Amino acid sequence: MMSIAAYRGKRKAYVSAESGTYYLPRLMVSRKNQVSHLGLATVHLISRLEKQRRQRSLPVAFMPGFACNLACEYCYQRTDPTHRSAKPVLSKGGPSYEDIAKFVSSVAAAHRVSNVNLSLLGGEPLMYRRQIREFVGALRDQTDISDISLVTNGTLLKEENLTELMALGLSFAQVTFDGSRAFHDHFRSFKSGTGTYDAIMKNLVNLAASHVKLEIRINLSAANILDCGELIDDLAQCVSPEQVGVCLTLIDDTKFYSEPAQKGDVFFSQYRNLVSYTSGKGFLVSLPGHSGLCRTCGNADVPGGLVVTADGKLYSCWDSAGQLGFEVGDVQNSFASDRHNHWVRCGYGSPDGAALHQRLALEAIKAIEGENETL
């Protein structure tokens, strides 16, 4: 039997099944968050089609480079936390894009899938538009690409860049905020020190109006959660909420980004309130996509997908890409026999583990459902 949790928002309902989160017409979910028979049949059909589609594609994360036009204080890619610009670098003289594409295609064939689901990450991937064009071209010569998605800070998503990416086949973009304008601008600034909030909001207008599916990722910790309603209000002014997903992502408090006084129950009740507020504004609130075992990381014996940098090195996880000592092979020699020693999964650097955060987020959302049922 399918395990399902549902929440009826003001404009749409969202339903979380094991295979993912789906958005349904509001009438398919009752006021008590019960999914109707038609709703269940719809979720069943969508999740089956989605599963089939996913099984037919190989997830590939490609990092064209690690440079970024921002100087976020806590940059997750900093190899040396004491040094603002110590980011991973690509080694020189690596294989050609054609060689990388051939390797990707050979792995897809070994997985018996007919196409590739490509994610573009960085640094800031839009600093590498020529390289992206060339890599996508080389990959298309070797295999079909079912989807292209982009994880970006959003500052370079100007109209001409968006048009170019759409011509390449971009179908999904995730743009990150760190909270309300004041909080975001404090942590996410250009190298000049100027905040990026307004620049990103401006770029979202064209993006949200295009056919590219937009997801806003909001990095949440105890330090910024209370002010995030302001960000949700600003987003609702700027885009049509029903066309935009919002991913409320719990991140670890760090030394830059923490409020140790607010923890536990208080924090998760704040999280629940923010989920309700966001869906009440009409946004599609994404639930955590997995519980620590993502489709790309897999495990060292059965890699789920590929994480490959432009110098042809292979990694097990988006988070470890480019980090010295975390290579698990390269495209010339495939996965290394000692890869088990370096195989990490999402959240490996977190003291609690990303899996724990994801579980807590799900629990918080289930609690909302419980509260609604008792009304």
> CB of 68: closest distance to ligand SF4 in angstroms?
3
Beta carbons within 10 angstroms of residue 333's beta carbon = 11
Those residues with Cβ within 8 angstroms of residue 1's Cβ, 6 or more apart along the chain or in another chain: none
User: C-beta of 158: minimal distance to ligand SF4 in Å?
Assistant: 16
Euclidean distance between CA atoms 160 and 120, whole angstroms: 18
Q: Which of 197, 199, 201 is nearest to 183 (CA)?
A: 197
Each residue 34-73 as x (binds ligand SF4 by CB under 6 A) or -, in order, gives: ----------------------------------x-xxx-
Residue 72 CB, shortest distance to ligand SF4, in Å, is 3
CB of 87 to ligand SF4, least distance (A): 7
Q: What number of chain residues touch ligand SF4 (CB under 6 A)?
A: 11
Q: Which stretch binds ligand SF4 (CB under 6 A): 116-124, 136-144, 158-166, 178-186?
A: 116-124
Indicate the DSSP class of residue 70.
Answer: B
Q: What binding mask, one character per residue, do residues 135-154 give for ligand SF4 by CB under 6 A, x or -? A: ------------------x-
Residue 76 interacting with ligand SF4 (CB under 6 A): yes
123 in contact with ligand SF4 (CB under 6 A): yes
Q: Nearest Cα to 302, choosing from 68, 45, 58?
A: 58
**In the sheet that 20-25 helps form, which strands lie side by side, from edge to edge?**
4-8, 12-17, 20-25
Q: Is the dihedral of CA 327, 56, 151, 95 positive or negative?
A: positive
- CA 115 to chain centroid, in Å, comes to 21
**In the complex, minimum distance from the CB of residue 294 to ligand SF4, in angstroms, rounded to a whole number:** 19
Q: How far is the CB of 122 from ligand SF4 (least distance, A)?
A: 6
Nearer to ligand SF4, 72 or 354 (CB): 72
52 vs 82, beta carbon nearer ligand SF4: 82
Do residues 189 and 145 touch, judged by C-beta distance below 8 A? no
What are the strands, taking DSSP E only, across 26-181?
57-63, 115-120, 144-152, 170-177
What six digits make up the tokens of 107?
Answer: 């792995």
Q: Is 115 exposed, middle or buried (0-12, 13-18, 19+ CB in 10 A)?
A: middle
Q: Which residue number, 75 or 365, has a Cβ lying nearer to ligand SF4?
A: 75
Pairing mode, if any, of strands 57-63 and 115-120?
A: parallel
Taking CB under 6 A as the criterion, the residue among 33, 77, 146, 320 binding ligand SF4 is 77
175 binds ligand SF4 (CB under 6 A): no
Please tell me whether residue 124 binds ligand SF4 under the rule CB under 6 A. Answer: yes
In the complex, least distance from residue 149 CB atom to ligand SF4, rounded to whole angstroms:
16
68 vs 364, beta carbon nearer ligand SF4: 68
Site of interaction with ligand SF4 (CB under 6 A): 68, 70-72, 75-77, 122-124, 153
